[in-house]
Amino acid sequence: MTDYKTLHSKAFVADLHCDTTLLMKRGYDISERHETGHVDIPRLREGGVNLQVFACFLDSDIPENEHVSATDELIDITLAGIETNSADLALCRTAGEARTIVDSGKIAIFVAIENGMALGNELENVARYHERGVRYMTLIHNVSSQWCVSANDTIPSFDGLTDFGCDVVREMNRVGMIVDVSHVHPLGVTKVLEVTTKPIIASHSCAFELCGHPRNLTDEQIRAIADNGGMIGINFHGDFISKRRWAISKSLAEENPAVVEELKGLLFGKYSGEDYEERYKRLAPTIKKWTENIALVNATIEDVVDHIDYFVDLVGAEFVGLGSDFDGIWLPPARLEDCSLMPDLSEALVKRKYSDYDIEKILGGNFLRVFEDVCG
């Protein structure tokens, strides 16, 4: 059997999505090894992660006139974290830069925006964010915007993507910013693929056929993204990879919608300071109870590899990668509780009889290909 540790250490390992910037906004020091959270520099080192995407997530509940300033603040926080830790981290704008950074012994940090509302409905902000170092943008999150329909929207008011939305895709192609369709409604994914001239990604999504969460991709979407030359990062969120876990979570959410919204606010950085501490303390008993219930049916690393298997069987190993969603998910899978355990994923792939070549593509090679195709 292949020595998975050696294989993992020589591979270029890229994680397409984490929400650690939200923790940094509350004072989380990524230079220290933590017992909470999922990502920090010591654990990235332990996990052999070479490129980590830091997503600047914009909460859709933020007032529209604050969308741009709120996004700029998150980019500022991310760039400041890179600068403060310049002995370990460096910003990558191209695939070539990423390779050079890794060869120098540092971790390449890729800055992304999650939620196209960050544009403030101004097309010129695409180029401005690109100038600031942003290299992919997720077009929407869980609430539809004026120009892009969310996957959570059961009654779309328009055909997935408006004319302005199509212009956003064209402008992203022009400046060299990757279009990310995770969270996008199937109608929107179809429109994006009609418009784009460059490969796209679904940075943190899974297979709908294995787990029927509305955030997951249908076979038709998976094939279309592969035909486009793009790729898909497998999300580690238990609700997206395990039918049993999703059933429990959905039941709890339907019984307690107000509590779920407040918990999302805690997770997605809606509250801070004393407000955050007060709300967390009040919800602590509920969080403990729900955590115990979900833990009984929690996902495992094998569920993650099941989704990788599904994508590979459907379209081939050239179109699959990793998009953990660390620090944006609740109760990661067993044996993938944080980024330090990434080598265990290589071990699981070796046990499933993947070739070294295919494992290296899945771990990061496929994303580097798209990164280079779109951004240089």
pLDDT tens-digit series, residues 160-213: 999 999 999 999 999 999 999 999 999 999 999 999 999 999 999 999 999 999
Query: Can you give the pLDDT at residue 152?
Result: 94
Containing 40, the helix (H) or strand (E) segment is none
What string of H, E and C letters represents the secondary structure of 78-145?
Answer: HHHHHHHCCCCEEECCCHHHHHHHHHCCCEEEEEEEECHHHHCCCCHHHHHHHHCCEEEEECCCCCCC
Using the structure block, give the residue that is written with the tokens 């397409």. Answer: 16
Query: Can you give the pLDDT at residue 371?
Result: 98
Would you say residue 315 has pLDDT above 90? yes
Would you say residue 30 has pLDDT above 90? yes
Centroid of chain to Cα 324: 6
Query: Can you give the pLDDT at residue 127?
Result: 98
Would you say residue 360 has pLDDT above 90? yes
Side-chain-facing half-sphere of 264: CA atoms under 13 Å: 15
Token pair of 282, please?
């009040």
Rounded average pLDDT over 7-13: 97
One of 3.20.20.140, 3.30.830.10, 1.10.287.3510, 3.30.390.10 is the CATH number of 4-242+300-375, namely 3.20.20.140
* % the chain with pLDDT above 90: 85
The DSSP code sequence of 147-171 is SB-BTT-SS-SSSSB-HHHHHHHHH
Would you say residue 270 has pLDDT above 90? no
Would you say residue 269 has pLDDT above 80? no
Positive or negative: CA dihedral 223, 226, 227, 230? positive
Token pair of 337, please?
């509780």
Instruction: Please give the mean pLDDT across all residues of the chain.
Output: 95
Domain spans of the chain?
A: 4-242+300-375, 243-297
How does pLDDT run across 83-134, given as a tens digit for each residue?
999 999 999 999 999 999 999 999 999 999 999 999 999 999 999 999 999 9
pTM: 0.94
Query: Can you give the pLDDT at residue 1?
Result: 63
Confidence category of residue 264, pLDDT binned at 50, 70, 90: confident
* One-letter amino acid for residue 257 of the chain: P
Q: At what angle do helices 366-375 and 95-103 cross, to 10 degrees?
A: 130
Would you say residue 328 has pLDDT above 80? yes
Instruction: Render the burial of 167-179: b for 16+ CB within 10 Å, e for the rest.
Output: ebbebbbebbbbb
